[in-house]
Amino acid sequence: MSLETKVIKSRLGLLGLAEELGN
């Protein structure tokens, strides 16, 4: 897995977590 893919997945994970906390 490339570093860029890890960064993208981590950002998507953080966005998903933020949405769950906001609901």
pLDDT in tens, 4-15: 999 999 999 999
Q: How far apart are CA 4 and CA 17, in angstroms?
A: 20
> For residue 17, what are the CA distances in angstroms to 1, 2, 6, 14?
22, 23, 16, 5
The pTM of this model reads 0.50
The pLDDT confidence band at residue 16, using thresholds 50, 70 and 90, is very high
Phi, psi of 2 (to 5 degrees): -80, 160
